[in-house]
Homo-oligomer: A and B are copies of this chain.
Amino acid sequence: MLLCEPVCCYFATANTQPAMKLNKKNCDLKSCSMCRQCQPDWLPALDTNRKSFHFKKGEQLFTEGEKVTGMYFINKGLVKVHKRWGNDKELILRIAKDGDIVGHRGLGDDEFYPVSGTAMEPTDVCYIDLSFFNSTLRTNPDFQYNLLMFFAAELKESEKRMRNLAHMNVKGRIANALLYLEKKFGKDKDGYIHLSISRQDLASYTGTTYESLFRIMNELVAENAISTDGKKTQIVNATLLHEYMEQN
C-alpha cells in the first residue's frame, strides 16, 4: 500500500488518500494546544513547519495501520477517532473538536496508527510532521509536560469507558454518552446537544449496534428522558439518565 520512504514523507505525507488539499488559511498560532503551550520564541519555527489542510466530511486524516507521519491540530471542525474490528464493525473512541490534537495515538515505538481519524464535518487542521513534533517536545518542556498530563487524562477516560463497556448495559451506556456529549459540546439555543452525529456513529460510539441504539433512543424519548429532532438530541431529564447509568 504505502511505500513511504523518508523522501516522500516530506511533502504532504499524510496518507494514500487523493492527496490532501493544502489550505491557505493557517491557524492564528494562538488557539491550538501546541501553539499555546510552546515558548514564544519557538513559534516562528512552528509557523515554518506546519502545514494547513482541509478535509471534507467523510475524508480520512489518517488510517489505522498506516505509517505514522505526523500530528494534527484541529483548527475548526470535527474528527472521529475510530478503531475497526473485522471489516464491518468499529468502535469510535473519541470525537475531537476545535483545538484538539489528533493523531497522537501514533506516538510510541510502534510506528503505525492504531486508529483512524475521519472528518465528521468540513475540517481545517494544522499538520506537523513527526520529526518536527519530536523536536518540539524536546525543546518545549511545558508542552511535553502538558502532553503527558493529556495522555494521563485520556488513559483515565479510556479505562472508565472500558469498565462501562464491560459492566453497564446498553441503555446506561447511551445515557452516559449523551450526558458526556452534552458536556463536551454544549447546547445550542434550543437546548439540543451542539453536535450533529448520525445514529450509526452514536451506536459505534457507545459500542452497540444501530438497531439497539435506535430502539433505546425510542424508549428514552417515550420516557421523556430525551427528545430528538432529526440528528439533534436534547436531554430532557438528566436525572433519569443518571439513574439508567447506575442500574444493572
Identify the A interface with B (CB < 8 A).
Answer: 1-2, 83, 85-86, 89, 91, 93, 104-105, 107-110, 114-115, 137-138, 141, 144-145, 147-149, 151-156, 158-168, 207, 246
Q: Please report the C-alpha to C-alpha distance between residue A115 and residue B93 in the assembled complex, in whole angstroms.
A: 20
A/B interface sample: 9 pairs, CB < 8 A: A104-B152, A107-B152, A108-B152, A108-B156, A109-B149, A114-B159, A137-B145, A148-B148, A165-B207
Q: Please report the C-alpha to C-alpha distance between residue A83 and residue B158 in the assembled complex, in whole angstroms.
A: 12
Contact of A153 among B108, B159, B165, B168 (CB under 8 A): B108
Contact of A151 among B145, B152, B246 (CB under 8 A): B152
Q: Are A109 and B147 in contact (CB under 8 A)?
A: no
CB distance from A134 to the nearest CB of B (A): 9
Q: Please report the C-alpha to C-alpha distance between residue A169 and residue B194 in the assembled complex, in whole angstroms.
A: 34
Q: Is the interface of A mostly helix, strand, loop or mixed?
A: helix
Q: Across the interface, which residues of B come within 8 angstroms of A86, CB to CB?
A: 167, 246
Q: Across the interface, which residues of B come within 8 angstroms of A159, CB to CB?
A: 83, 93, 105, 114-115, 158
Q: Please report the C-alpha to C-alpha distance between residue A202 and residue B156 in the assembled complex, in whole angstroms.
A: 22
Contact of A158 among B155, B168, B246 (CB under 8 A): B155
Contact of A152 among B105, B161, B166, B207 (CB under 8 A): B105
Q: Are A161 and B160 in contact (CB under 8 A)?
A: no
CB distance from A88 to the nearest CB of B (A): 10
Which 8 residue pairs of A and B lie closest in terms of their CB atoms, listed nearest first? A166-B207, A151-B151, A85-B167, A108-B152, A107-B152, A158-B158, A165-B165, A162-B162
Q: Are A2 and B149 in contact (CB under 8 A)?
A: no
**Known A145-B137, A160-B83: A153·B114 in contact at CB below 8 Å:** no
Q: Please report the C-alpha to C-alpha distance between residue A138 and residue B142 in the assembled complex, in whole angstroms.
A: 9
Q: Please report the C-alpha to C-alpha distance between residue A134 and residue B164 in the assembled complex, in whole angstroms.
A: 31
Q: Are A166 and B163 in contact (CB under 8 A)?
A: no
Q: Please report the C-alpha to C-alpha distance between residue A93 and residue B89 in the assembled complex, in whole angstroms.
A: 24
CB distance from A140 to the nearest CB of B (A): 11
Q: Please report the C-alpha to C-alpha distance between residue A83 and residue B104 in the assembled complex, in whole angstroms.
A: 25
Contact of A156 among B110, B160, B162, B165 (CB under 8 A): B110
